[in-house]
Amino acid sequence: MKSTRFITMLLLGLFFYSCDDNDGVDLIDSSDPNAVIAALEVEGAVFIEGMPPLPSEDQNAPKLWEYEYDELAKVGAGGNMNYSVDLSQGDVAGLYFQIEGADGYLDIPKTTLNQSFEVSDKHYMSRLLQTQEDFALVIPIPEALTSGEICVNYCVYDSENRVSNVVSRCIEIVEPGGKNGDFLVGEWNAIKYVDHYDGMTYEYYFGVPDEYTYGTTIPCNDEIIEVEITESYEDKFLHVTYSKNGGLRYKAEMIDIYLDEENSNCSPSYLEETTAFDLNGVWSYDDSNGSIVLALEYEFSFEGVEKTENVAIEGSIALEDGLLVLTQVGDEYPDEIFKMYFEKK
């Protein structure tokens, strides 16, 4: 079994994280909801004391999709948190946003949502139900915010001030850097990854295609003939740069060559797809147990909708014989151990 969790969990995209040193800057306690909401800078938002209006009982009030998340999203301080605002009914005039435990909330105009990458009338659920709009809310995370868990509630209202259902989402803030993490600083090039699974060990090298040959049939004029097909996947390169201040650059390219079934006639024809991305984020290292979190964001297009998502790569990291080794243990299969080996450039 080839494990590509480290590579394929990231999609094509580009996002820039600003990660500056916080020396001399007053830190914001993530456990203080009033301090957190006061520090948020959201275009057009107005702070209102008290609790947001309750959802409307009107059957024509807007309704939001509520997605289920298996784990907390991890977001680097100085990055952005992205919230889906996808309607199954109604329209939007604005959005109420509250940090749980805060003494007030933000009233955010629709124009701010329109600036958040989403394109209306594109989400597959809304197309299925013939509803109208889908948006995203992007909340900038202050660079001075300390690590910790933050939970938020949000809902939308329409032009008649009818309020939708409330959607809740929790995130974990990751502080950049870490004590005794200087051994990470620099640019590292991945050379191989090793997957130990079910008593077997599989080893793959960067820059070397992994080929798979099998038999199949293709048309040949008015007949069907048997042919041998060789497809391949190659992790061309992966460069990870750790900055001293906790900044991170993650750059990779993959090549996939596979059978072009539509244009194969009498002899196999192949398609070649190259996927490349250049992401930025933050790294957070815990010296007490050698664990690391790479908190990244990426942009991608899904069914015509431009989306931005948060993603985190987690594991343990250490130097072994001059190589940097990132280790991950399978969540569903604890006996699976995945290791990525890097050499310093």
Domain ranges of the chain: 5-13+179-344, 20-174
Predicted local confidence at residue 283, as pLDDT: 92
CATH of 20-174 among 2.60.40.10, 2.60.120.560, 3.30.360.10, 1.10.3720.10: 2.60.40.10
| Lateral strand order in the sheet of 63-64 | 63-64, 80-89, 134-140
Q: What are the structure tokens assigned to 4, written together? A: 């590509």
Average pLDDT along the chain, 345 residues, taken 10 residues at a time: 36 35 72 95 94 95 82 79 84 94 96 56 38 71 89 95 94 88 96 91 94 96 95 96 91 96 96 90 91 82 59 91 92 81 95
CA 62, CA 68: separation in Å to the nearest integer?
19
- Helix H or strand E segment including 286: strand 270-286
- Helix H or strand E segment including 129: helix 124-129
Start-to-end Cα distance in the chain:
30
Radius of gyration over every alpha carbon of the chain, rounded to an integer in angstroms? 24
Predicted local confidence at residue 302, as pLDDT: 53
SS3 37: helix
User: What are 97's strand-pairing partners?
Assistant: 106, 154
CA 180, CA 67: separation in Å to the nearest integer?
38
User: What are 227's strand-pairing partners?
Assistant: 216
CA 198, CA 337: separation in Å to the nearest integer?
10
User: What are 154's strand-pairing partners?
Assistant: 97, 167
Predicted local confidence at residue 158, as pLDDT: 95
Predicted local confidence at residue 70, as pLDDT: 61
